[in-house]
Amino acid sequence: MEAGNKSDNFWYKDVVFYELHVRTFCDSNGDGVGDFKGLTTKLDYLQWLDVDCIWLLPFYPSPLKDDGYDVSDFYSIHPDLGTIEDFRVFVHEAHKRGIKVIVDLVFNHVSSEHSWFKEARSHPESQKKSWFIWSDTNKKNISARIIFSDTEKSNWAWDDEAKAYYWHRFYGYQPDLNYDNPEVREEMKNVMRFWLDTGIDGFRCDAVPYIFDRDGTSSENLPETHLFFREGRKMLDEEYPGRILLAEVNQWPTEAISYFGNGDEFHMLFNFPLMPRIFIALAKEHYQPVADIINQTKSIPEACQWAIFLRNHDELTLEMTNDEERDVMWREYAKHPKMRFNLGIRRRLAPLADNDRLRIELLYGLLFSLPGSPLIYYGDELGMGDNIFLGDRNGVRTPMQWSPDKNAGFSSADSEQLYLPVITNPNYHYEAINVYAEKRLPYSLLNWMKNVIGIRKQKKAFGRGYIEILKPSNTKILAFIREYDDERILCIFNLSRHAQYFELNLGQYAGMIPVEMFGNTNFPAIKKEPYSFTLTGHRFMWFELRKNTSV
Ligand code: NOJ
C-alpha cells in the first residue's frame, strides 16, 4: 500500500500540520460546497506553503448537525464532497507532492441517523441494541461532566422509539457507542483498516478519553480506554507500520501524558494544556504560564510527540485552565458575549491578536519553536477573520479565501448558495486577505509564514530537540534553548508590548557565536558574563549557536 515515504518512522516529529475541512476549502462544481476535486487542485498551494501533513476534518456521510462529527456511515464519503475515487486521487496526489494525509475518525459516537442506531432503537431484540448504552433512568452515571454545557442538560437523552434513555457525551443526537461490546471494538478496528487501505498516513482520533463509561466515575481516562487504543496501536504497528495515531485528549498534563503509554499507545497528542497558556502569557506579559506547562509536559517517551496548536476548528477551549486563568482569557480575548461558546472562545487567531501583526508573528514564533509538531488551521496563515454571529463554531469555519474574486475564489455558486458566507468585515475582507493578494506582497503574513516554516525546517532541533527554559532577568521575556545532536538554538520572546532589556546567563556556551536565523546575521560571541539583549515590543528572535571557527 502506498503511504508516502516510510523510510523514517519518526516522520511525525518533523512535520508541519495543516488542518482543513474539505467542505470549506475549494468548490470544484459550483454547488457552494467544497469537495475533494477542489481540494486536489489546491495541493500545489499547500506544497508551496511547505506544509507536510494534512489533517482532514470528518468527510463521512452525516446530517451535519455537528459539522460532520455526527457520522452516519463510516465507510463512505459525504456525497457533497465527492466519491471514494475522488478521495483516493486526492491521497495519491498529496503523496506525489510529499504531503501526508491523516483523517479524523470519530470513535466515541455516531449520528442518531446512523443505521446502527436506527436499528438499535427500532426493537428491543435488535442485534444492534447492545452497540449503544441504554437505561430506564437518567439518574445513573451522573458524575460524568457535561461537555457541551451551553446546549445539553444531561448526558442521557430519552428515545421515544426505544422507550429508554441513551447515553451521549456530546450533542443529544450523537449516541455514544458501547465499547464494552466486543463487536463495536472490532467494527471500529475494521473502519480503521478500511481507511488505512486507501493509503492514508494515520488518524486524528476524536474525543478519545470518553469511549468507556463507568457509573460512579468521571467516565474519562478509564483503563479500558487505554487498553482499546493500545490494541489499535498494535494493529497499526503490525499491519500498517509507519502510520500514526494522533489523539484529541483534552486533559490535564498527567492524564494526557498517560495516553502516550510507554510509547505503545498514541504517537501524538494535542498539547491542550499548553495552548491557552500561550495566550495567557501574552495577556499577562509574563513568561511563567508557558514555562510551567512546558516543564510539566516535556518528558515523554522517545517515540512520541506533541502536536501543538494555537487555533483549530473548535472554540479555543478553556477546560484545562483554573478560574483565575479563565478570567484572564475571558477578559482579554472574549470582550463580546458572542465570542464565548461552552467553556471557550470561538475566534480565529488574527482577531484574537486584535489583528496586530506583531502579536500574530510572536504567537507563531512560539508555535514554531516550542516542543512538538506545529499545526496551522486553514486560513490562519493569511490572517483570516471570523464571524461570531454565525452560531455554533461556524464563525471560524467560513470559506477559504483564495482571491479577491466572487466568493473569495472559493466557489462559482451564487453567494446565497455557499454553505457559509465569506468574511466581509472591513478589517478582514476577503478582497485583501486572500492567497492571491498575499502571495504578491513580499511582506504579507502568508509570505512570512512560508519563510518561518522554511527556517524551522533547516533544524531538526525544533521538532526533536530537548528544551531548557532559561531564567531571564526580566519576567516579560520567555527564553529557551532547543538542543538536538550538535544543534543548539536560542529562542527569545518579548511578551510585552513595550521594548525590554534583559540579560541571559549563557556562560555554558561561552565562545559560541549566536547567528540570528532569519537574516543569518552574526552577533557578538558569548562570554562567561551574562549576555545582554534588547527586544522591541512583541518581537522574537531565534539564534543558532555556532562554534566560533575564526579562533
Ligand atoms: C471534538 C471535535 O473537535 C468537535 O468539533 C466535536 O463537536 C466534538 N468532538 C463532538 O464530536
Is residue 304 within 8 A of residue 312, CB to CB? The reply is no
Q: Which residue in the list 104, 152, 206, 220 is annotated as catalytic?
A: 206
Is 70 exceeded by the pLDDT of residue 1? no
- Average pLDDT (211-221) is 96
Mean of the per-residue pLDDT values of the chain: 96
Grid coordinates representing 262 are 510507554
Is 60 exceeded by the pLDDT of residue 50? yes
Is 60 exceeded by the pLDDT of residue 7? no
DSSP assignment of 44-87: HHHHHHT--EEEEPP-SS---TTTT-S-S-TTS--GGG--HHHH
* CA-closest residue to ligand 1 atom 6: 69
pLDDT in tens, 55-97: 999 999 999 999 999 999 999 999 999 999 999 999 999 999 9
Is 50 exceeded by the pLDDT of residue 168? yes
| Among candidate residues 547, 512, 545, 544, the one with its CA nearest the CA of residue 526 | 512
Quick one: the chain helix, strand, coil %, rounded to 5? 30, 20, 50
- Average pLDDT (4-12) is 69
From the CA of 149, how far away is ligand 1's center (Å)? 13
Helix, strand or coil, per DSSP, at residue 208: helix
Ligand 1 atom, smallest distance to 106 CA: 11
Grade residue 8 by pLDDT with cuts at 50, 70 and 90. confident
Is residue 476 within 8 A of residue 286, CB to CB? The reply is yes
Is residue 470 within 8 A of residue 480, CB to CB? The reply is yes
Grade residue 423 by pLDDT with cuts at 50, 70 and 90. very high
**The pLDDT of residue 549:** 80
From the CA of 391, how far away is ligand 1's center (Å)? 15
pTM of the model: 0.97
Grid coordinates representing 468 are 531548557
Spell out which residues line ligand 1, taking CB within 6 angstroms: 66, 69, 106, 170, 206-207, 248, 313-314
From the CA of 67, how far away is ligand 1's center (Å)? 9
Element (H, E) at 116: helix 115-122
Is 50 exceeded by the pLDDT of residue 3? no
Is 90 exceeded by the pLDDT of residue 2? no
Ligand 1 atom, smallest distance to 108 CA: 11
Strand 513-516 with 521-522, pairing: antiparallel
The alpha carbon of residue 187 and the mean position of all alpha carbons in its chain are separated, in whole angstroms, by 26
pLDDT in tens, 454-506: 999 999 999 999 999 999 899 999 999 999 999 999 999 999 999 999 999 99
CA dist list (Å): 140 to 137, 147, 216, 278: 7, 17, 8, 38
Grid coordinates representing 402 are 483564495
Torsion of CA 165, 169, 174, 180, to 10 degrees: -70
Element (H, E) at 469: strand 466-469
From the CA of 530, how far away is ligand 1's center (Å)? 48
The alpha carbon of residue 536 and the mean position of all alpha carbons in its chain are separated, in whole angstroms, by 30
Helix, strand or coil, per DSSP, at residue 542: strand
Grade residue 551 by pLDDT with cuts at 50, 70 and 90. low
Grade residue 4 by pLDDT with cuts at 50, 70 and 90. very low
Pocket-testing residue among 60, 206, 220, 272, ligand 1, by greatest number of atoms within 8 A of Cβ: 206
pLDDT in tens, 102-131: 999 999 999 999 999 999 999 989 999 999
**The pLDDT of residue 5:** 42
**The pLDDT of residue 248:** 98
Using the structure block, give the residue that is written with the C-alpha cell 483523517.
103
CA dist list (Å): 134 to 157, 221, 496: 10, 21, 53
Q: Which residue in the list 67, 159, 201, 248 is annotated as catalytic?
A: 248
From the CA of 120, how far away is ligand 1's center (Å)? 23
Is 70 exceeded by the pLDDT of residue 352? yes
pLDDT in tens, 172-191: 999 999 999 999 999 999 99
Active site residue 248: yes
